[in-house]
Copies of this chain bind each other. A is one copy, B any other.
Amino acid sequence: MAGNTLGVLFRITTWGESHGDAVGVVIDGAPSGIPFTADHVQIWLDRRKPGGAKTSTARKEPDAARILSGTFEGRTTGTPISIMVENRDAKSSSYTDIMNLYRPGHGDITYEKKYGIRDYRGGGRASARETVGRVAAASLAHEILKREGISIVAATVALGGVKASKRDYEAMDQNPYLCPDADAARAMDLRVDAVRRQGDSLGGVVEIIATGVPAGLGEPVFEKLDAALAGALMGIGAVKGVEMGAGFEAARMTGFENNDPITPSGFASNHAGGVLAGISSGAPLVMRVAVKPIPSITKAQETIDISGEPAMIETRGRHDVAAIPRVNVVCEAMVALVLVDHLLRQRATAWRG
């Protein structure tokens, strides 16, 4: 395998299954001298915790982060930082009635095909629990980016077909969906309630904006900034599509409409989403991801059992109605991790003869 490491200079390696003893991450390549304690990690882990929103599972995880190495007197030392979060509330027992059934839309069938092992206890590495490591690592990335004046925010711009028509970031923190449109948030609430009653689930769209990103990040031609961001975001469990700036809308525009005019005070529009030829332009980075509905639903579905016989499945366990808004902080994490790696890479590149 060997696919659990991300980054070239700022590298993270995540580990841990949803039903094992713990999950965690090793960060390698962090600059020294950055203030970093378990409290920094906790703030971000708390944001991704279930229980905060009506879309989320009732599973309770204290998610207490422990930093095992790489810091001294509250600052990074330049050596690898190991962060561990124990799994306290994993109940494998709730899965016993579906242990012989493949779950539609779920990775249990492909994991078994790849590794030849059926781990029926839950999602394993395919569980959202795996993202604890990503978010923990990103808490340091955010700290570094903050010092460079870069900030990242992921807003829910669609849920269950309900679209946000505003970008009111103050409203965003006042509804449980992280939606920057209070009216849309109310409509989402009704939609979530209805779907939950049907034992079904919902998808949506998250828009991530990074401001303060300097021009010059991105390494053509295979590690362009947008390519790296797209790979990182598509690697989040529920994501099925990624677009930059105008994205799929750009496919319907003419060059004259889509090109962002350049003026002495900057770009007059931002259809490019902050990237030209794979290199950041100085304009805000704008990305949107399509988040599929949670595959584990209680509504009965057609499937097969492990001997290949047809069967019906009703997933019980504890599952969210939507990955949104818990996935939002993961989107922010992936963008932060890509940006901090490219910032460090650009420091080396920017040296000139």
Tell me the A118-135 residues at the B interface (CB within 8 Å): 119, 121, 124-126, 130
Q: Among residues 36 to 82 in chain A, which have CB atoms less than 8 Å away from a CB atom of chain B?
A: 66, 68-70, 72, 75-82
**Complex: how many Å from CA A201 to CA B107?**
42
**A251-B290, A259-B104 in contact; A6/B222 too (CB < 8 A)?**
yes
A interface residues, how many (CB within 8 angstroms): 160
In the assembled complex, the Cα of A105 lies from the Cα of B346 at a distance in Å of 22
Contact B16 A2, beta carbon cutoff 8 Å: no
Closest CB in chain B relative to A38 CB, distance in Å:
11
- Which 8 A-B residue pairs are closest in the complex by CB-CB distance? A107-B277, A3-B219, A231-B231, A2-B29, A34-B353, A241-B243, A3-B223, A227-B235
The complex places the Cα of A144 from the Cα of B351 at a distance, in Å, of 11
What B residues does A68 contact at CB under 8 A? 15-16, 20-22, 24, 84
In angstroms, how far is the closest chain B Cβ from the Cβ of A15? Answer: 4
Residues of B near A244 (CB, < 8 A) are 234, 240-241
Could you say which residues of chain B place their CB within 8 Å of the CB of A211?
Answer: none
A319 CB to nearest B CB, Å: 9
Nearest to A241 among chain B residues (CB) is B243
Chain A, residues 206-233, CB within 8 Å of chain B (1/0): the string is 0000000001111111111011111111
